[in-house]
Amino acid sequence: MYLARTMAELTPAARVLARDGLVMLPDIYTVNDLAELNAAMNTLFASRQDQKRSYVRPDDMMALGILDLVLSPAMLDVLFTIMPDPVLYHLHAYEIEAGCSQPHIFANQPGGWHRDMDSAYFRDDPTHVSVFVYLSDVGPDDGVFEFASQEPEAALMRGAPAMSLTGSAGLAFAWHRSFYHRAAPNRGPRRRRLLKISIQRNEFPSVLMEKDYVRRMLAEVPAGNPKLDVLLGRLQGLAAPHQAASRMIAPVRVQPMATVDVTQAAPGSVDGSGAGLPYD
Amino acid sequence: MIERAARRRVLIVGAGRRVQGNFLPAFRCLDDRYEICGLHARTWARLLPVAQAWGVAAVGDLGTFDLSTVDLVAISVPTAQNAVVLQALLPAAKTLHILIDTPVAATETELAACRPLLAQFAGVTVAEDYMNFPAFTLVRDAAVRGLIGRPRSLSLFNIGYRYHGLALIRSFTGFGPVVQSWRRALGTHGTIVGYEFADGFSATVIGPYRRHEHGGGLLLEGSCGFITEAATDASFVSKKREMFVLQPDRSDGVLTGYAIVGGGAEVRLACPDLARMRGMGLADASELNLLRGCGLIEVIRSIFHDKNINRSYGYAQGLYDSFVSLHAARGDAILDPCGLLAADAPAVLPWRRQADQQTYLKASKKASAALGAAEKILVRAGDVVDATREARQGDHTALYGARVNGRELPGTVWFIYNPAWGLA
């Protein structure tokens, strides 16, 4: 039984996540870092561009020699600012195909808007959070991530306040997975590439750690770094020590500048992948 | 997704050449996002003709102007006046965002006056337009796409004016602080200044500055390729490294954008604002001035709307570049001015030289043969000396706080004979 944190126990960034659902992050990677990440992944993505959605997984990152850069001190500061014992449950870069008229995911939902039901929801405690870093420039037609900052358990209505996260490669933000969100269609001519790192409190079992592509990576990362040991799930099932970020990330709030433009979304318009929550 | 209109109100302070040539045109290019609600200058004689020419309200007295109706104040006045203007805006500081021109302060007295004032505003953006010139934006974009691997070094040939050059360089490193610097004179006219960064990136600024003329340019070298403005560089490079050429796109001879081509790749950036500014009948419609306008537009976009590289460039960064580049150009020891980047930057940046041959560190400029054993220290080829400050004296250089291969030396001043030393 998970004992939810109160607002008073949260860092300022986590508090913004609990209230608004989304927080802008300072640049995690420099131009030089982004160049190295993309240069390393270009060949692999090029070989997979026939796929609508193509991935570079943790074992690929290990093989490409960029895992240390992906999980850089600046990224660890972000993750450990959001929660004191984050465990990975997504770690990949992915591309979505260009020239699409539909969102790449949940296109059967109104406008593609959905909540992630594989994540637990506690009103004042963001237990499941994703960090996105754009690895390509994302304009309004490039599969931009869109987010509704309303109370997540209320029905999503047309005209609800929303934000559209356009920006240059390197733009980084964290978002609460229980809030409504979507990827707008990537109508542009280029595949959209981003880095996705999702984390959850250590008390929730991470299904990611069971994947072969993660096991292969884990086998090569030596134990002994306290933060990485928590993040890589080596303390799952145990009381993980809480770690503070070396440098606390100051939250930057973003105001909704747009509204949801779909026909009324029914209260149940959530994705179905959460059938049988693994944590309850 | 339906975007709400969010037109911001901007007050411009200053009516000089920079405002007429860049600020007013840039805001006009962004008139879907900004309304110029007023223009202020110290004298009516200076203010009225500009306000009339641009059809904006003339604001004679900042003290009586209702600043609560303003979102942004753009300031472009002589640096000595910045503190005066900021002081006048202070009553509305909690809600005002400031866009302030470079350099923000030219002296440490001005820095001390401005810095505490700037800290009180809701937000401050520095109008560092140079690093946002379309060509440089395109180079960063191409690098980020991974065309040349991880960038290792950037050379600016005659295009790296002091703080503008350093800002451009640091835009590759997340505006990280310089960790080491060096300078070498090119006769009496020019200098070469080098900067190094914690991530291994290095940059060289070769003077003198000649951006207003053709020639010069940049060379960005990465782990597996490079971007150059000189197509002839192909003659001098290994076939194993991809070469990309940065070149202007022109239509009927008129600049319309930039392209980077090579290795089967092509990246382009169109600059539609160039045509719009050409239609404004600017007194200075030179390419360089129009590019300044394009750079400024990118800066302004970052304030409330776009999330580009300027988001990270606040006044502390602008001041840092001004003062570090100033010290570097003089050959003084470089201090992190007043702890602007205190958490990240070393207080003193060492100057470094490497011995090209066996030679001496000497207690005076006399020939080594004339010095006693206690007055000279033998160093061998490859030994490295660094110092907290250097002062060139003819064919010798005086070093203060010198160390050899990291080992501190007794005394405060040692001399080296320049021909025996190269760059480390």
Rounded-to-integer distance, Cα B228 and Cα B54, Å: 39
pLDDT value, residue B254: 96
Q: What is the pLDDT of residue B340?
A: 64
More confident residue, B384 or B58: B58
B215 interfacial to chain A (CB closer than 8 Å)? no
Chain B residues in contact with A250 by the CB 8 A cut-off are none
Q: Residues with Cβ < 8 Å from A259, sequence gap 6 or more? A: A158, A159, A160, A161, A162, B1, B2, B4
Helices of type H across B255-314? 272-278, 287-304
Hey, where are the domains in chain B? 1-127+271-313, 130-264+317-346, 350-423
What is the distance in angstroms between the Cα of B355 and the nearest Cα belonging to chain A? 31
**What was the pLDDT predicted at B184?**
84
> A275: pLDDT confidence band, cut at 50, 70 and 90?
very low
Nearest Cβ partner of A164 from B1, B149, B150? B1
**Angstrom distance (rounded) from CA A11 to CA A248:** 9
**Top-confidence residue, A39 or B263:** A39
Q: Is the pLDDT of residue B16 over 50?
A: yes
- pLDDT surpasses 60 at B159: yes
Q: Which residue has the higher pLDDT, A1 or B103?
A: B103
Share of chain B above pLDDT 90, in %: 61
Q: Which of B363, B366, B347, B344 is nearest to B402 (CA)?
A: B363
Give the pLDDT of residue A269. Answer: 40
pLDDT of amino acid A88: 96
Residue B339 is predicted with a pLDDT of 66
Indicate whether A143 pLDDT > 90: yes
Cβ-in-10-Å burial (0-12, 13-18, 19+) of A257 comes to middle
Contact at CB, A35 and B146, closer than 8 angstroms: yes
With cut-offs at 50, 70 and 90, classify the pLDDT of residue A264: very low
User: CB–CB of A39 and B147 under 8 A?
Assistant: yes
Residue B255 has pLDDT above 60, yes or no: yes
Separation between Cα atoms, residue B377 and residue B218, nearest integer Å: 40
In DSSP notation, B301-326 reads HHHHT---GGGG--HHHHHHHHHHHH
Task: Specify the residue for token string 């072969």.
Answer: A212
Cβ <8 Å between B148 and A36: no
Superfamily the domain B1-127+271-313 falls into: NAD(P)-binding Rossmann-like Domain (3.40.50.720)
More confident residue, B162 or B341: B162
Rounded-to-integer distance, Cα B333 and Cα A219, Å: 48
| Mutation site for B-interface testing, chosen from A168, A181, A182, A248 by largest number of B Cβ within 10 Å | A168
Cβ-Cβ contacts under 8 Å, A255 against chain B: none
Radius of gyration of chain A (CA): 18
Interface of B with A in 286-325 (CB under 8 A): 306-309, 311-312
Comparing alpha-carbon positions, the chain A residue that sits nearest to B142 is A35
Q: Check residue B346 and give its pLDDT.
A: 53
More confident site: B82 or A273: B82
CB atoms within 10 A of CB B31: 10
Per-residue pLDDT band for B2 (boundaries 50, 70, 90) equals: low
> Considering chain A, what percentage of its residues have pLDDT values greater than 90?
65
More confident residue, B314 or B140: B140
> Does the distance separating the beta carbons of A170 and B173 come in below 8 Å?
no
Give which of B307, B308, B311 to mutate to test A binding, by max A Cβ within 10 Å. Answer: B307
B76/B107 Cα distance (integer angstroms): 17
- Of B186, B115, B121, the residue nearest B157 (C-alpha): B186
* Between residues A53 and B413, the one the model is more confident about: A53
A38 close to A135: Cβ distance less than 8 angstroms? yes
**pLDDT of A271 over the 50 cut:** no
pLDDT in tens, B209-226: 887 677 789 999 999 999
Q: Is B145:B223 a contact under the CB 8 Å cutoff?
A: no
Among A14-23, B189-198, B253-262, whose mean pLDDT is lowest? B189-198
Query: How much is the pLDDT for B128?
Result: 96
Q: For residue B201, what pLDDT is reported?
A: 95
Distance (Å, rounded) from C-alpha B241 to C-alpha B178?
Answer: 28
Cβ-based contacts of B177 with chain A (< 8 Å): none
Give the closest-approach CA distance of B192 to chain A in angstroms: 23
Say what the pLDDT of residue B5 is.
57
**How many percent of chain B have pLDDT more than 70?**
92
pLDDT in tens, A181-214: 998 889 999 999 999 999 999 999 998 998 999 9
Q: Is residue A263 predicted with pLDDT exceeding 80?
A: no
pLDDT at B338: 56
Residue contact B150–A32, C-beta within 8 A: yes
Q: Which of B145, B153, B170 to mutate to test the interface with A (most CBs of A within 10 A)?
A: B145
The yes-or-no verdict on residue B28 having pLDDT over 90 is yes
Q: List chain B residues with CB under 8 Å of A257.
A: 3-4, 6
Mean pLDDT of A202-230: 93
Q: How far apart are the CA of B202 and the nearest CA of chain A, in angstroms?
A: 11
Residue ranges of domains in chain A, CATH in brackets = 13-258 (2.60.120.620)
Mean pLDDT of A21-31: 94
Q: What per-residue confidence (pLDDT) applies to B183?
A: 84
Q: What is the average pLDDT value for chain B, to the nearest integer?
A: 89
For residue B201, the chain A residues in CB contact (below 8 A) are: 32
Is B146 close to A31, i.e. CB distance below 8 A?
A: no
Residue B424 is predicted with a pLDDT of: 56
- Band the pLDDT of A266: cuts 50, 70, 90: very low
Q: What is the pLDDT of residue A272?
A: 35
Residues of B whose CB is below 8 A from A168: 306-309
SS3 B389: strand
Distance CA A6, CA A8 (A): 5
Instruction: Give me the pLDDT at residue B9, please.
Output: 96
Fold of B130-264+317-346: Dihydrodipicolinate Reductase; domain 2 (3.30.360)
pTM: 0.85
pLDDT above 50 for B244: yes
Give the per-residue pLDDT at A274: 32
- Residue A73 CB neighbours (<10 A): 13
Judged against a pLDDT cut of 70, whether residue A159 lies above it is answered with yes
pLDDT at B395: 84
In 3D space, the residue among B372, B313, B266, B339 whose CA is nearest the CA of residue B129 turns out to be B313
Q: Chain A interface residues facing chain B, Cβ-Cβ under 8 Å?
A: 24, 26-27, 29-42, 136-137, 140, 146, 162, 164, 166-171, 184, 257-261
Chain B environment of A136 (Cβ under 8 Å): 145
Sign of CA dihedral B284, B286, B290, B295: negative
* Interface A:B, Cβ pairs < 8 A: 98
pLDDT at A41 over 70: yes
pLDDT at A20: 93
Which of B4, B139, B141, B150 to probe by mutation at the A interface, max A CB count within 10 Å? B150
Which of B367, B332, B292 minimizes the C-alpha distance to B136? Answer: B292
| Alpha carbon distance A71, A29 (integer Å) | 10
In the predicted model, is pLDDT for residue A267 greater than 50? no
The per-residue pLDDT for range B279-310, each reduced to its tens digit, is: 999 999 999 999 999 999 999 999 987 778 88
Side chain identity at B334, as an amino acid letter? I
CB atoms within 10 A of CB B15: 27
Structure confidence at residue B18 (pLDDT): 97
Cα–Cα distance, B290 to B22 (Å, whole number): 8
Average pLDDT over residues B197-205: 92
Rounded mean pLDDT, B323-332 = 82
pLDDT for residue A277 is more than 50: no
Give the Cα separation of B40 and B75 in Å (integer): 10
What pLDDT shows up at residue B333?
57
